Structure 1
């Protein structure tokens, strides 16, 4: 077995992107490589071809590796529903909940499933590139850990630690990471990768030399700051990482509500990638009032986030937009909020019935079973492929008057659908945005011959792989992978 664990000094240090870059780099060198993450805590997920739900980051890493995404690549997915409870997805399927008090000691069965999944992948691939979670120095959680040093010890993986220098304090964070590990864990840590560096490397080099002297581990490379890498963020800290479009010409402004329990926020990435769109996540009523299009994205806690929306008076801002004929789009949980009523007889979100925003003539009923799928359809003659992850089923109310929109409905200037990923379809996205621009009175039009969303993703993955190859090197990483199994 050959493999490597890519850990980080913090969340959002760059573990996911470095792992994706390594997957693409290994694939380009003819290595049959698979990504892996024992446990992912994220509300950004994806449905595989076989109906299994996994973290979005591991899906992207599989795309980078040019292999089919599958449940074994992310055997445990925890989807936070509140500050104290997460919903468990085990090997791609719902498997109950995990309370905060169980986090350190109540995950043994999850660890066993994760280790089994790793060994299964290792029997079918040449190299396994595992991504850690948070920081391996979270010693308060070490006893139940199976995603960082717990995984490294179990299967004998060498470990590299990525640190984000743009945040500051990266050298101290790396030194402290090693210092907090016990000797057996320290033996697995083989080196450091500095991420997001901009400036003169000559100024940084004395610090790198000191780090190597103090830790006895080499700095394997320094990765440059690469702007406009908005690839499939899994961490809430990374949502909205794209930059503003600075090109001249008519603009279309999009404001997406940043719900406390936002899920599948990557739906907004495809809009942000379209030339001439200025897209932002916001919690400000003024932003929602001024935008050409308001998006209510997915939510892992629809009823709770709807209450949050009302507490801030944002429901009134949205209602006024609709009264004025200005565009509003709801996706999955956001679509459910647009309904007249939301019913939860099975206690999926705590139970009960609440009034929706009443902006579509629909009713939402939460069923006991989660619906997972990869649906296809069309709109305005444009083909659409998507994925769905939801309990709530939306139907028209008696006497409701609305047209079909994908699997949902549209009425006036309001659109709603449960389909995620629909806007990654270039023709559909541009047709929809053209209609939005007309309703909003904007002169924006799609840019002819602009790169498609999938093409841009491929370009970014290759750009990441180039940076990793230039500054760390395929041979260096492969040499580390070949050390797997040597330390226990």
Structure 2
């Protein structure tokens, strides 16, 4: 098998984005390439064409490689449901919920088998793999049973590149410390180092490059600058913080997003990063609520838990008052479920308690029932206006256990999906709830929604900002900028000659 594995000195050093860059760089060189990450831990997931669930990062990397994403590119996905428990997604389908300890003790050998099967499947279809590690390869308390870093490099028998983030400081110690904690056999796999997220004058770091190479004996393959304006979706809550903190806060349209402990699929919000007059801010409690132009309640992996947190922080009162004062609210997936009057965990699938009940926010006449069977599907729906006349097609994907029922049939659905009502639309779009993730990625719909807010504020309407076209252009920019600073020929030489070392 030919491939390269990127491992990091820590989480959020930029492995996902660099793997995305390499997928597009290799694709541009007419190499048949696929991404791979054995195990992902993220509530930000991606639905494949056949309705399976994988980590969002590998779905995006497949798009960069111009191939269709499959479950073999991320065969194990862990979706945290609490500080201790995670739902285990195996080959795109929910397997069971396990504590970290039980997962480590019970799943290791099964995980190895899953990884080997996936590597074999990908090897039969592709010539090169770009493999992403997770966190750090030297978590010494976990390394005897890890299945995402050096063990994967061993199973695939590929060289490793170590990625370090200079932006957070301590880059020399992180590189040297990581290499020092690797075994000699593991260290021999490391063929180079990438210094990522560099800001400023590179000439000031040239002596640093020389020192790293002399001290470690490893080649610095490149120093990647801090890349701006990339429409590359993030993977987890760490990238969530980074991406939205970097977005200017001076936009005239103030959108408040309710901060949820187990937020999922926050990429629903990413289109707003590219709307110049929009400012996104996260609201943790009632004191931060302010007077927003719109509120978004995002998806969550644990609706009951996060709704309870909203109440503990007194945000439920603010949201109810805001809705009664003609405020604009959009609830997505778990946020949609919260909008209703009651949530009933019929199967115990959300809380572990069969029949558990909780009052919702009472903003829309809805009841949500939680079942055992999760729905994961790419969907298309017809947007319905107040007279139930079909208009725009909305595309998205659904990942949820709940079934939400309108208590009042006079309340309009948002969409018709296969002639069945989906979501809720109250007061001509002032209150919207839907299971459709990627709602705001529908460029024309998002523009229309924002233009209504612009009109209310006395602002000029804006033309449609087509982000779908921008996404592929962003892959191209990412590839070109990365290719300028990385020694790609050296990387390919290491990959091609690794088997004959």
Partner of 2:441: 424
Query: How large is the RMSD of aligned CA atoms in angstroms?
Result: 1.7
- Which residues of structure 1 form unaligned runs of 5+? none
The change in CA–CA distance for 1:483 and 1:311 in structure 2 (over 3 A counts) is: farther
Q: What's the TM-score, normalizing by structure 1?
A: 0.95
Partner of 1:405: 414
Partner of 2:481: 467
SS in structure 2 at match of 1:386: strand
Q: What's the TM-score, normalizing by structure 2?
A: 0.92
The change in CA–CA distance for 1:308 and 1:486 in structure 2 (over 3 A counts) is: farther
Is residue 72–residue 119 contact of structure 2 (8 Å, CA) maintained in 1? yes
Q: Deviations over 1:97-124 (max 9, x none)?
A: 2212134333221221022101210121
Q: Deviations over 1:408-454 (max 9, x none)?
A: 0022332100110121111111122223444xx2234553264x111
SS in structure 1 at match of 2:468: helix
Q: Deviations over 1:303-362 (max 9, x none)?
A: 000000010011111111001011011000000111111011211122301111111100
**Aligned equivalents of 2:92 and 2:485: distance in 1?**
35
State the 1:280 CA deviation.
2.2
Partner of 1:448: 463
**Aligned equivalents of 1:461 and 1:291: distance in 2?**
33
Is residue 37–residue 148 contact of structure 2 (8 Å, CA) maintained in 1? yes
- Decide which moves more: 416-425 or 298-307: 416-425
Partner of 1:78: 78
The change in CA–CA distance for 1:215 and 1:395 in structure 2 (over 3 A counts) is: same
Partner of 1:227: 228
Is residue 139–residue 181 contact of structure 1 (8 Å, CA) maintained in 2? no
State the 1:475 CA deviation.
1.6
- Decide which moves more: 173-182 or 226-235: 226-235
Q: Deviations over 1:17-40 (max 9, x none)?
A: 000000001111101100000000
- The within-5 A match list for 1:347-426 is 347-350=348-351, 351=353, 352-379=356-383, 381-397=391-407, 399=408, 401-406=410-415, 407-412=422-427, 413-426=430-443
1:340 equivalent in alignment to 2:341: yes
SS in structure 2 at match of 1:223: strand
SS in structure 1 at match of 2:141: helix
Partner of 1:172: 173
Partner of 2:418: none
Partner of 2:325: 324
Higher relative contact order (CA 8 A, sep 6+): 1
The change in CA–CA distance for 1:402 and 1:484 in structure 2 (over 3 A counts) is: farther
SS in structure 2 at match of 1:110: helix
**Aligned equivalents of 1:377 and 1:284: distance in 2?**
34
The change in CA–CA distance for 1:449 and 1:332 in structure 2 (over 3 A counts) is: closer
**Aligned equivalents of 2:348 and 2:500: distance in 1?**
48
Partner of 1:48: 48
State the 1:283 CA deviation.
1.1
Aligned residues: 481
The change in CA–CA distance for 1:96 and 1:415 in structure 2 (over 3 A counts) is: same
Partner of 2:294: 293
- The within-5 A match list for 1:106-125 is 106-107=106-107, 108-125=109-126
**Aligned equivalents of 2:233 and 2:131: distance in 1?**
17
